[in-house]
Amino acid sequence: MSKPETIHWEGGADGTLYLIDQTLLPVEYRQLDYSKGCVEKVWEAIHSLRVRGAPAIGIAAAYGVCIGIQTVLDEMDEEKFFARFDEVTAYLASSRPTAVNLFWALDRMKEIAAAVKKLMDATQTFHPLEVANRLLMEARAIHEEDREICRAIGKHGAELLPDGAGVLTHCNAGGLATADYGTALATFFWAAEHGKKLHIYADETRPLLQGARLTAWELQQHGIPVTLICDNMAAQVMREGKIQAVVVGADRITANGDTANKIGTYSVACLAHLHGIPFYVAAPKSTFDLTLSTGDQIPIEQRSAREVTHGFGKQTAPEDVDVYNPAFDVTPAKYIAGIITENGVISPVTEENIRAMLED
């Protein structure tokens, strides 16, 4: 199969959004299409992880705004037009709570809407299609920028990985989680493209198996050697000396460097610390949330018990058993050797270094 395009927009403001349904991979490759104002379906796609991974959620939400306002492309009443815009952005913001890229992308769309409105108000004109076109341009810009950002992250991160290293990753921070190329996986792709030989160990990532279904698949597509392990095997492979570095993605990084990522990341970081293995986080600047001082303030998404008791349609626990299913955890900054951004590597991870790198 040719290279998957995670997110794609076809046409103008009345166009169509295409997403790969990631819940079906790797068994089935299916593209879903969204158009005609059906923002509820885009919300559902984000909420149920058909599109997932922090940067991809942000891009999908930006295009989701364009889908949502398709119901008012002919609306000449400015107040009604912007009321729909506000409704759509607030609604999309409720799809998932942890990845800050969602709110970052929606804020960019809101800024554009406010700027265009101001200009039109100044000339006492209103052209709904012009506002919609400008919003689509912004969504496309968010999408395109992410491609560049991922490559820069790949380049900076690859330098940290020794030739011949075994590298562990958790969840999926690849092309499927971004515009393409990824964040954590970008470091492996760049290293491989520049002649380094790595062997990747992919945690399967219970309960939704993003590591098994998506990371193992993406690495296979790129011809990078990958060994799949169950989450509870990480300590053993480290003890056997198979791992020289860990690289993971992030959903939100606070001012002090504490990092939320897929549930299980924190235990991998503790294990890496115990074994003296450097633990790196790869993330774009849009994943930082400097309004929060520490990771304790990050909202952690709680998901349905059925993901744990009835994974992929098969019951694996007694009916009505009590379940706790947080989708993310927070790794304290002290366990992170470096944060790989598009601007370079933040190391040591301190608030001062983070602020200096983000201002760059």
Q: So which residues are the catalytic ones?
A: 251
Q: Are strands 31-34 and 166-169 parallel, antiparallel or unpaired?
A: unpaired
Q: Which residues, numbered 55-74, are part of the site for ligand MRU (CB under 6 A)?
A: 55
Q: By CB under 6 A, name the one of 7, 99, 202, 247 that touches ligand MRU.
A: 99
Min dist CB 105 to ligand MRU, Å, is: 13
Nearest approach, Cβ of 122 to ligand MRU (angstroms)?
40
Stretch that binds ligand MRU, among 2-10, 171-179, 268-276, 332-340 (CB under 6 A): 171-179
Task: State the Rg of the chain over Cα.
Answer: 21
Amino acid at 277: I
**Distance of alpha carbon 94 from alpha carbon 103, whole angstroms:** 10
The residue with its CB nearest to ligand MRU is: 249
Determine if 327 is a binding residue for ligand MRU (CB under 6 A): yes
In the bound complex, what is the minimum distance in angstroms from residue 55's beta carbon to ligand MRU? 5
Residue choice 6, 89, 187, 210 for contact with ligand MRU (CB under 6 A): 210
Q: Which two tokens stand for residue 174?
A: 């690849």
How far is CA 164 from its chain centroid?
28
How far is Cα 304 from Cα 95, in angstroms, rounded to an integer?
A: 14
User: 3-state DSSP call for residue 214?
Assistant: helix
Of 112 and 337, which CB lies nearer to ligand MRU in the complex structure?
337
What is the number of other CB atoms lying within 10 angstroms of the CB of residue 31?
Answer: 11
Helix extents (H) in 50-183: 54-68, 78-93, 100-122, 128-158
Instruction: Kindly give, in sequence order, each residue whose CB lies less than 8 Å from that of residue 295, ignoring residues fewer than 6 positions away.
Output: 254, 256, 258, 259, 260, 330, 331, 332
Q: Is 341 in the site for ligand MRU (CB under 6 A)?
A: no
Q: Which is nearer to ligand MRU, 138 or 180 (CB)?
A: 180
Least spacing, CB of residue 163 vs ligand MRU, in Å: 25
Residues contacting ligand MRU: total by CB under 6 A: 19
Nearer to ligand MRU, 131 or 161 (CB): 161
Q: Does 289 bind ligand MRU (CB under 6 A)?
A: no
Residues 231-270 that bind ligand MRU (CB under 6 A): 249-251, 261-262
Report the residue number, 210 or 256, with the smaller CB distance to ligand MRU. 210
Q: How many CA atoms does the CB half-sphere of 242 hold within 13 Å?
A: 16
Instruction: Spell out the residues 6+ positions from residue 47 whose beta carbon is closer than 8 angstroms to its own.
Output: 95, 96
- Interaction site with ligand MRU (CB under 6 A): 49, 52-55, 99, 171, 173, 177-178, 182-183, 210, 249-251, 261-262, 327
